[in-house]
Structure 1
Amino acid sequence: MENEIWYQFIIIRDFKKYPVIASILHDFEGEHLAGYVYIDPIKGTNLDIINLFSGNENDANTNKNLVEEKIRAILPFEHFSETNFEIADQQIIQNLNLTIPDYIESYKRENLKPFREEKAYDKFRVAGFPYDIQVLLINNRNTPELIWARVENYDSENKIGISRLIVQPHQNFNLNIDDKLMFKLMEINKSLYPVGIIDNKPAKKWWKFW
């Protein structure tokens, strides 16, 4: 499961057998890689490659420490999720002296941790982008429409969040791309939906891009 690897060190063995990873690291020596999984609010779940090494857990030898050499190599979820990765155990973390890079701290959104872990939203997400969900827009003028939005804040007690639209609605809901939209998890026909709160939004200029 994707949520089990967020903010964890993972190991990808024999990384050169994966064409995309091999092409990114073709100038570097090493058999295996160690990296740290984090969530970029815009780019989604990523793997920051930290260390290239040879050997096994008991005799691991670092070939390249990318952080120390100020090199960033990043793999998006779609490229590392299909590999036979494993969560690094404490022994290999210690043997390789793995530490979380300082720059990763800026990506930690503790205020959104309850939202990430709320399973009711899973069917409205797409793999690799845990902060992006489909929000249901409803009013008395249009057909109900699911629209993609990026969550920026969330109240887990009241199941209410603040999001920003990342696409343009097909219908006129007095909403445009990049607008902020409040949503609430509600039950409709015995199913839960994140429903946009739009009743009190003032009318505004609306653009169509097709």
Structure 2
Amino acid sequence: MKLTLKLILPGCLLAALAAQAQVKIATVNLEDVFTNYYKYDLAQQDINNLKNQIEQDEATMVQTLKEGNADYQKLEDAADNQALSDTERQKNSKAADAKLKELQQTRSALQDYDTSAKARLEDQSTRMRANLIKEIQTAVVSVAKGQGDTLVLDSAAQTVNATPMLLFSAGKDDLTQAVIARLNAGAPIGLNVTNSIPPPTPTVVRTNIF
């Protein structure tokens, strides 16, 4: 009996302590934070610049192909022109063959460039997102600790079934604006940034288990 009590009492004590410990839950809309962080626009500009450069390069290569095709057709026509001498027709035929090989190389280069460009864009976008999320998470932790929160939920998160992860929140402990302000406090002077967004629409915190 004494042994039983020795085992039960510590467990009861731990349960009582756990019950006394208050869990303070806050929310943050990571989507709003992400798109209102000043570095997001800067990173997006870099990606758009890269995309524009790629489009210009590919447009130049396509134009080269069009002009090359026109030259090839002229050489083909000349090679079949019976009004020309055999020597001239053979000369044009060889030139047409050389032009065709050149066109094939240009097409191959365009395909390789397009594949490489898509990979570069994907890699830059992935790295940009990962870096920003890491900085945002650091800011969320700092703000949450500052006001004594023990748990922060993403109010914009969704389940694998595309349903809201957070079904309801009164919005009283939403950190979104504070996190945005914390992140944008480091923006360069003169840069137009957003430090406030419309307050969250009220949506006790229940999570979707499905």
> What range describes the TM-score normalised by the shorter chain of this pair?
under 0.3
The normalised TM-score by structure 1 is: 0.24
Question: Could you say which structure has the greater relative contact order, defined with CA pairs below 8 angstroms and 6 or more residues apart?
Answer: 2
The normalised TM-score by structure 2 is: 0.24
Tell me which structure has the larger Cα radius of gyration. 2
Q: Which has the higher helix share?
A: 2
Q: Which has the higher strand share?
A: 1
